[in-house]
Amino acid sequence: MEEESDTRKINNSFLRDQNYATEADIISTVEFNSSGELLATGDKGGRVVVFQREQESKSQPQRRGEYNVYSTFQSHEPEFDYLKSLEIEEKINKIRWLPQQNAAYFLLSTNDKTVKLWKISERDKRPEGYNLKDEDGRIRSPSTITSLRVPVLQPMDLMVEATARRVFSNAHTYHINSISVNSDLQTFISTDDLRVNLWNLEITDRSFNIVDIKPTNMEDLTEVITSAEFHPQQCHTFAYSSSKGSIRLCDMRQAALCDKHCKYFEEPEDPSTRSFFSEIISSISDVKFSHNGRYLMTRDYLTVKVWDLQMENKPLETYQVHDYLRGKLCSLYENDCIFDKFECVWNGSDSVIMTGSYNNFFRMFDRNTKRDVTLEASRENSKPRAILKPRKVCVGGKRRKDEISVDSLDFSKKILHTAWHPQENIIAVAATNNLYIFQDKVN
């Protein structure tokens, strides 16, 4: 993060009118593909919107960073489980892109129960001159065919199609909270509260259960799985986090059922700070491997921690995201905000980490300089090319002009989902039903 990180520029925001925003419009996941050319969002209404980056033009070089809608499709529909009398909502919990192999793009999307593999492809030609059907698609009677024609491809307006290629269902009793694609590009994992399942991308009717923490008697249950991710290079290694604040690293080469972890990361609790809320705020909401595979980043309610895979007893770095809320945990418990699940992301070089907070604030921490900054994604400062000013929260005493009091923070405006372009300083921030895209100041 250079000096300019405090003056990031907004270069686009996709704003739906706040007055007409429905629950279905709330963005529930954001993800760049491996090249950063595409950005996908999922929402509570089961829709996936894919944005494509503008190509560079000599006349308007500043437009290079802009993302425009490329494809929109309904990924999941609401369902009803008649055996359990449960509604299965259509909300998209996670999207993960597969690395691009050909001209088409592939992504996995999941709701609480079902993972789907989508193919997004372009068509700019259409076949004409069929023998067995008319131009409008009606089947012709073979008796009317007097000569054979060779069909030809005619140019047409570009059309982007999204088609569901695979549906991976009926493998989870509990709600799926995360999916992760393996570096072998053949398998992926889906994770719910008590189990991790391993799938082959080609096989939809069976998966392998590789982690199962369900006790024989559910009254003995002390923790649940909150997130899981594959290692970016080692196809046999994955990590999963728990509601007790621990992370387990597992090696699939050791056993078919990875009930015994090979590494266990947990920070001992400080007895002096123990309170009624200690267990709730220590629950890990997100776990992410660094791009180089050496570190693990975890997010709990108040902090982001970076762990070295070679050191299990304590985190390498701990960053306070919003420590000023420590005195407000009682009211945050009453309004259920204490159970919010914030995500965290690395930049492309693993030198800066980003995560969200309340009042539409998001935080960035530079691991090298130890500088941090609080920025705000809001409609007020979302004019294109507007420079973001750092924000500060005042806890007590006299408030300065540019500070905001901790008592006036809006807890209904929260940034849970963010994404960072894999190579450049371009970030995507989901603030309720709005998607903001910021980039480093362009001279």
Residues 21-54 have pLDDT tens digits of: 688 899 999 999 999 999 999 999 999 999 999 8
Q: Identify which of 224, 113, 94 has the alpha carbon closest to the alpha carbon of residue 174.
A: 113
| Structure tokens belonging to residue 365 | 């921490």
pLDDT at 426 over 90: yes
pLDDT of res. 276: 86
pLDDT of res. 354: 97
Confidence label for 442 from pLDDT (cuts 50, 70 and 90): low
Phi, psi (deg, nearest 5) at residue 428: -115, 130
In the predicted model, what is the mean pLDDT of residues 388-399?
81
pLDDT of res. 4: 41
Q: Kindly state the helix (H) or strand (E) to which residue 439 belongs, with its residue range.
A: strand 434-439
CB distance 134 to 69 below 8 Å: no
Q: Which residue has the higher pLDDT, 61 or 39?
A: 39
pLDDT at 149 over 90: no
Give the CATH fold of the 79-100+168-439 domain.
Answer: Methylamine Dehydrogenase; Chain H (2.130.10)
The pTM score is 0.87
What is the C-alpha separation between 86 and 70, in angstroms, rounded? Answer: 34
In the predicted model, what is the mean pLDDT of residues 341-364?
96
Q: Which range has the worst mean pLDDT, 17-26, 217-226, 338-347?
A: 17-26
Q: Which range has the worst mean pLDDT, 154-163, 321-330, 366-375, 417-426?
A: 154-163
Phi, psi (deg, nearest 5) at residue 351: -95, -20
pLDDT of res. 52: 94
Region of residue 185 (left: phi > 0; alpha: psi -120 to 50; beta: else):
left
Tell me the CB-side half-sphere exposure of residue 189, using CA atoms within 13 A. 27
Query: Taken in order 171, 174, 179, 181, is the CA torsion positive or negative?
Result: negative
Q: Which residue has the higher pLDDT, 141 or 162?
A: 162
For 18, the 3-state DSSP assignment is: helix
In the predicted model, what is the mean pLDDT of residues 108-113?
96
pLDDT at 2 over 50: no
pLDDT of res. 108: 97
CB distance 355 to 345 below 8 Å: yes
DSSP string, 206-247: --EEEEE---SSGGG----EEEEEE-SS-TTEEEEEETTS-E
What share of the chain has pLDDT > 90, as a percent? Answer: 66
Confidence label for 57 from pLDDT (cuts 50, 70 and 90): low
Which residues, other chains included, contact 299 with Cβ-Cβ below 8 Å and sequence gap of 6+? 284, 285, 286, 305, 321, 342, 343, 344, 355
Neighbours of 255 (CB within 10 A): 11
pLDDT at 148 over 70: yes
pLDDT of res. 134: 78
Phi, psi (deg, nearest 5) at residue 331: -70, -30
Residue in this structure with the two tokens 């799926």, named with its chain if needed: 176
Beta bridge partners of 372: 365
Boundaries of every domain in the chain: 79-100+168-439
For 330, the 3-state DSSP assignment is: helix
DSSP string, 260-285: S-SEEE-PPP-GGG--TTHHHHHS--
Confidence label for 60 from pLDDT (cuts 50, 70 and 90): low
Which residues, other chains included, contact 77 with Cβ-Cβ below 8 Å and sequence gap of 6+? 46, 90
pLDDT of res. 255: 87
In the predicted model, what is the mean pLDDT of residues 369-398?
83
3-state percent helix, strand, coil for the chain, nearest multiple of 5: 10, 40, 45
What is the C-alpha separation between 92 and 27, in angstroms, rounded? Answer: 9
For 2, the 3-state DSSP assignment is: coil
Region of residue 187 (left: phi > 0; alpha: psi -120 to 50; beta: else):
beta
Q: Kindly state the helix (H) or strand (E) to which residue 372 belongs, with its residue range.
A: strand 372-376
Q: Mean pLDDT in the chain?
A: 89
pLDDT of res. 12: 52
Q: What is the DSSP letter of 327?
A: G
DSSP string, 333-370: HHTTGGG----EEE-TTSSEEEEE-BTTEEEEEETTT-
In the predicted model, what is the mean pLDDT of residues 77-105?
92
In the predicted model, what is the mean pLDDT of residues 369-386?
83
